[in-house]
Structure 1
């Protein structure tokens, strides 16, 4: 179970890192032209960059606290925060009729829920 939770956290961290880098570094105009990035047309550059920063923090929060042994409870807390972010993404993509992306967000939410459940519950980190 511990291995499955580590794999899930690693995969979700990779997703968060990829999304965070693209939102933080790619110009808003270029993001808006990409499939799935149409939502950026309706928000400010600051909002896009803020979401990118949150995703970068999520990538770090899913891995570093456990690896470093400092405040490992931040891993499931980060997973819960990621779930909230995915709910917002599902609403946004749903409004645009991008139902395949909604389903992808549901999958990411499910992985985060698994991590939160596992790390808050039966396989929490022991200091």
Structure 2
């Protein structure tokens, strides 16, 4: 199970790192035009804050375990990312963007899986 948790955490880290860096690096209008319609309606600071949370969460999924420094941060980061995805699902539901809700729920469930596994029997 430890290997499965590492694989899931690695995949989540790559996904959230890419999504977060995109939100941090690109202007709000470009994000909205590329399919993130919610970014056009949010203020720029909120979009950057979500991007920063995703990047920090991605780093928190793997770096503490790899370095052996404060490995309790791994399940905390996974929990935080699950909460971010629940918020994203709620935002998409309010906007009527049903096609995105499934992705948000899958990512939230995977992050919750890592959190439960790393808080539980397979903690570092």
Q: Name the TM-score, length of structure 1 as normaliser.
A: 0.95
Partners in 1 of 2:99 and 2:74 — Cα distance?
28
**Which residue in 1 is equivalent to 2:22?**
22
Instruction: Quote the offset at 1:44 in angstroms.
Output: 1.0
**Which residue in 2 is equivalent to 1:56?**
55
Partners in 2 of 1:24 and 1:123 — Cα distance?
33
Partners in 1 of 2:66 and 2:96 — Cα distance?
39
* Structure 2 unaligned spans of 5+: none
Q: Which runs of 4+ in 1 moved over 4 A?
A: none
Is 1:107 aligned to 2:119, yes or no?
no
Q: Which moved more, 1:2-11 or 1:96-105?
A: 96-105
Q: Name the TM-score, length of structure 2 as normaliser.
A: 0.97
Instruction: Quote the offset at 1:59 in angstroms.
Output: 0.9
Could you report, residue by residue, the CA deviation over 1:39-59 in whole angstroms, capped at 9, with x for unpaired residues?
012211111111111111011
RMSD: 0.7
* Structure 1 unaligned spans of 5+: none
Instruction: Quote the offset at 1:108 in angstroms.
Output: 0.2
**Which residue in 2 is equivalent to 1:65?**
64
**Which residue in 1 is equivalent to 2:121?**
122
